[in-house]
Amino acid sequence: MVSTIRLYTESEYQEKAQHFEAVLSSRGVEVSIEVIEKLNARFLRLHPELALCVDADGLWLCANGMKMQPDWQAEVGRLKRASLKSEMIARACNLGEKPTLIDATAGLGHDSLLMAHLGAQVTLVERHPILFTLLEDSHHRAQKDAFLSSVVKRIHLVFSDSTDYLKSQAEQNAVVDVVYLDPMFPQRDQNQQAPKKQAQVKKQMQLLHLLLPEDGEMDLGDNLLELAQKIGKRVVVKRPRLAVFLAGKEPNHQWSGDACRFDAYFQHELVT
Q: 62 and 94, same structural domain?
A: no
Question: How many other β-carbons are positioned within 10 Å of the β-carbon of residue 149?
Answer: 11
Residues 6+ apart with CB under 8 A from 13: 54, 55, 56
Q: 147 and 24, same structural domain?
A: no
Q: How far apart are CA 138 and CA 255, in angstroms?
A: 30
Q: 127 and 85, same structural domain?
A: yes
Q: Which residue, of 68, 85, 108, is where some domain finishes?
A: 68
Within its chain, how far is the Cα of 258 from the centroid? 22
Q: 119 and 58, same structural domain?
A: no
Q: Is 141 annotated as a binding residue?
A: no
Q: 202 and 95, same structural domain?
A: yes
Report the alpha-carbon angle 38-134-191, nearest 5. 110
Q: How far apart are CA 19 and CA 167, in angstroms?
A: 32
Q: 195 and 60, same structural domain?
A: no
Q: Is 126 annotated as a binding residue?
A: yes
Q: Phi, psi (5° rounding) for residue 181?
A: -125, 125
In 3D, which of 29, 31, 59, 34 has the Cα closest to residue 47? 34
Q: 253 and 141, same structural domain?
A: yes
pTM across the whole model: 0.90
- The pLDDT, as a whole number, for residue 88 is 97
Q: What is the mean pLDDT of each run of 10 residues along the chain (272 residues)?
A: 91 98 97 98 96 97 95 95 97 98 95 98 97 98 97 98 97 97 63 40 78 58 92 97 93 95 85 44
Number of structural domains (the chain) is 2
Q: 123 and 63, same structural domain?
A: no
CATH number, domain at 189?
A: 3.40.50.150
Q: 59 and 88, same structural domain?
A: no
Q: 132 and 11, same structural domain?
A: no
| Residue 25: strand, helix, or coil | helix
Range of the domain at 178: 72-270
Q: Which residue, of 14, 34, 68, is where some domain finishes?
A: 68
Q: Is 6 annotated as a binding residue?
A: no
Q: Phi, psi (5° rounding) for residue 91?
A: -70, -45
- The pLDDT, as a whole number, for residue 270 is 53
Q: 187 and 54, same structural domain?
A: no
Q: Which residue, of 68, 101, 122, is where some domain finishes?
A: 68
Q: How far apart are CA 233 and CA 96, in angstroms?
A: 15
Q: 230 and 215, same structural domain?
A: yes
